[in-house]
Amino acid sequence: MIGSSQGVYGGIEAFMMAVAEAAEHWPEFEVKLCFKMVKGASPDENLTTMAAKSCKSVHYVEKGSNELNQLVKWADVIHAQNMPPDIVIPAFFRRKKILLTVHNRKLEEKSLHNLLWSLTIKMADKRWFNSKFVWNTWEPGKKSPNSDSIPTVCNLPTGDVSPEVRKGFLFVGRWIVNKGIEEIIAAYKICNLDPEAWPLTILGDGPIRDKVHQLIKESGIKVILPGFVDNNEKQHIIANSKWLLAPAKTQEDLGLTPIEARSVGVPSIVTRDGGLPEAGGPAALIAEPGNIDDLVKCMKQAVAMTEEEYKQRSFDGKEDLKTFLKPMEFYRTQFQD
């Protein structure tokens, strides 16, 4: 199980750990979890701690390193994230079984990078795109028989909290530009909600930390800021929230947090951005990316919603996951074939 990493815990890392952890319990496999560090990156403590819990054999390697080459040589089956040429090409010529989970949409600009990716993606035995949005950028017309749309999963929250107990709005994610945090702060101020009845929690951390704190201070609103928490605490916070907010404007390839929320019956407000509507499912409220007024409208609709309608959305979103997601046993079967 291998993929590029900037050394921090994110959606791709979470997916890799989840599959590796499941495969550790399949006796027919010996599993190695490998993070290929991008140039200048090193694994932080959160990543190393969580990776160690998911797999006994974890490797942090550099591009083109001897360790990476030895891992490719060792493996019978390689499950790579996206289609890295330095992994796929050596694996192809060594006649390894190559399975790709494609997380990122195809970029339109012409470059050597895109040319190589367009070549290496065709070398795989099977390609699983994490959303129909991503799939359509790589195969806009006729779809290959070896391709499919398989949403990525991680260790999803469990244990529903009664809808009557859930409170407020929640954002979960890295604090980076275009994730919609600025719009959330502006929209929450406009909504002028009781922070006790409808608290706003912004979970996580990241490069725009100072900007986020400054915007909150200038707006005068009360926001709960837990910072970066472990997976168990994150799942607890999600399950106890009334609505998840995911208003990105990044051409999001899928969006993991709306899926996590749906698994415990928490509906989302998402933007019509990339794969987010797919992740949000039939129960989501949808705003236009970057449109604060639209976000305000959705948040006010959520606040005014009757308990009966909310419970129905909660049920519909969770129930739809049964057909939207594949069980982990899917990967076991694919690795064996």
Give me the pLDDT at residue 16, please.
96
At the second CATH level, the architecture of 169-323 is 3-Layer(aba) Sandwich (3.40)
Residue 143 is predicted with a pLDDT of 96
What is the model's pLDDT at position 154?
Answer: 74
Quick count: other Cβ atoms within 10 Å of Cβ 220?
7
Average pLDDT over residues 197-210: 96
Q: Per-domain residue ranges for the chain?
A: 2-155, 169-323
Asked if domains 2-155 and 169-323 share a fold, the reply is yes
- H-state helical runs in the chain: 11-23, 45-54, 66-74, 85-93, 112-120, 132-138, 181-191, 209-219, 231-239, 256-262, 276-280, 292-304, 307-324, 329-336
Show the CA angle centred on residue 315, arms to residues 231 and 281, nearest 5°.
Answer: 70
Global pTM value: 0.86
pLDDT in tens, 260-298: 999 999 999 999 999 999 999 999 999 999 999 999 999
**Which CATH number is associated with domain 2-155?**
3.40.50.2000
Please tell me the predicted confidence (pLDDT) of residue 155. Answer: 73
Q: Mean pLDDT score of the chain, rounded to an integer?
A: 95
Q: How is residue 55 annotated by DSSP?
A: -
- The band of 242, judged by pLDDT with boundaries at 50, 70 and 90, is very high
* pLDDT at 114 (0 to 100): 86
Compute the C-alpha angle 248/99/89, nearest 5°.
100
Tell me how crowded residue 217 is: count the other CB atoms within 10 A of its CB. 10
